[in-house]
Amino acid sequence: MNPSPPARAGLILGFGVIYLVWGTTYLAIRVAVTGMPPFLLAGVRFVAAGAALYLFLRLREGPRPVAARWLDQSLAGLCLVGGNAIVCWAEQRVPSGLSALVVGTAPFFMVFFAWLLPGGVRPSRAVAAGLVLGGAGLAILFGPGAFAPGQRPPILSVAALLVSSALWCLGSVYSKHTGAKTAPVWAAAMQMLAGGAAMLGGSVALDEAGRFRLAAMTLNSWSAFLYLTVAGSLVAFPTYIWLLRHNSPARVATYAYVNPAVAVMAGWLFLGETFPLRSLLAIPVLLGGVAVITAAGAGAERRRTAVAAAQGQ
């Protein structure tokens, strides 16, 4: 028997969590990486949160998931946590608000990955228009003359943020389509454990532990790390996986144009980050493309649901 749909209040609260908490994690990452190397930060953060959630579930719900479920959840976790680790690496050189805007291209990648999966639907004209609009926004944001001399973020860091966005979307779509037999909270715990462990392995390979100095962690760095671990991972990550089970990827992806607004405001308030006028003009163009794609995806999902329901009668 299919589980009953969640209450509307629960959905509103869930979206509020990923909108506000994840919007502020860009600020927290920017602060945390001043004292802790990026892959070590992501690895410790997600392993700690995943272990705490896994232990809680074992004590509360008993039997652990069967081994067959670990492979799918580990692959999803590798993409999701790996994408976050790349954001940590890039934010060493890119302001938090600007990082959030680049990662906000997530729905662009979501369209392609959802299309490539079995039974995927070719992007509509509305989606194509959204892609063009989003591409124009990126061109305005990073094109010639967008930044004063010496202030342009490294191109490698910006490219890494795009890779991060693609990985996150791949993991999200994969988790949506392979996790039906695993409860969302169990899936979140498994993904955080597996992905975090992989990032710790990457940290060892990069010798980050050898370069890490505990004395470099200020009170602000520790506070940011704790916020990322508790609010960003232990609370928001399971909420995101739960939302994916009860909504279309396009609808859940609306966080991609709320998070940048929250991140830009937080970066301005707490870190004094500013944007050139041209960059500010790019924001509505870029997020407009995201909104068009998200709306088109939600509409397509409703049509598929209606067709499926009609065929089932």
Residues in the chain, overall count: 313
Among 278, 271, 251, 310, CA closest to 107: 251
pLDDT, position 301 = 59
d(C-alpha 67, C-alpha 114), whole Å:
27
Pick out the chain residues at pLDDT < 70. Answer: 1-5, 61-63, 117-121, 179-180, 249-250, 297-313
What does the angle CA 157 – CA 117 – CA 189 come to, to the nearest 5 degrees? 65
Q: Where are the domains of the chain?
A: 8-312
Q: What is the pLDDT of residues 91-139, one digit of tens each?
A: 999 999 999 988 888 777 877 777 776 666 677 788 788 878 888 888 8
Instruction: Give, in order, the Cα–Cα distances in Å from 299 to each of 11, 127, 235, 250.
Output: 19, 11, 29, 9
Phi, psi of 299, deg, nearest 5: -65, -40
pLDDT, position 275 = 74
pLDDT, position 298 = 60
pLDDT, position 173 = 82
Handedness of CA 136, 26, 185, 187 (dihedral sign): positive
pLDDT, position 307 = 44
pLDDT, position 310 = 47
pLDDT, position 133 = 84
Buried b (16+ CB within 10 A) or exposed e, 249-269: bbbbbbbbbbbbbbbbebbbe
Q: What is the pLDDT of residues 169-179, one digit of tens each?
A: 889 888 877 76
d(C-alpha 165, C-alpha 100), whole Å:
10
pLDDT, position 62 = 65
Full-model pTM: 0.85
